[in-house]
Amino acid sequence: MKNIVGLKEFRNNVDVWIKHVKHGNSVVVMKRSEPIFRVSPVEEEIWEEITDPKLFVATAAQKKALIKAEQNLEHGKSLSYHDTIRKLGLKN
């Protein structure tokens, strides 16, 4: 099933549209009667590729953070999971 929605409606009710996508539906978002993007469910094999750690390429800042983390571990210091993710810039 394909849903068509205006940008303002999508933005104001993004949680509702995410549920549609989680149930296997695509959502086409329109701006001034023109389609601007489509949100679709992620195919399982694509997701496996995205989450494959061998495909992760660290930025310079992430490499620096990883080196610092290794040094801290050598000295018995560690960070929580959430602090580590934040410092690596993987989540806001």
Q: Which domains, and CATH codes, for the chain? A: 2-41 (3.40.1620.10), 49-87 (no CATH)
Mean pLDDT score, 23-34: 93
Q: Is the pLDDT of residue 12 over 90?
A: yes
Q: What is the pTM of this model?
A: 0.48
Q: What pairing do the DSSP bridges indicate for beta strands 26-31 and 34-39?
A: antiparallel
Q: What is the pLDDT of residues 61-91, one digit of tens each?
A: 888 888 887 888 888 888 777 887 777 777 6
In terms of average pLDDT, the best of 31-35, 38-42, 51-55, 64-68 is 31-35
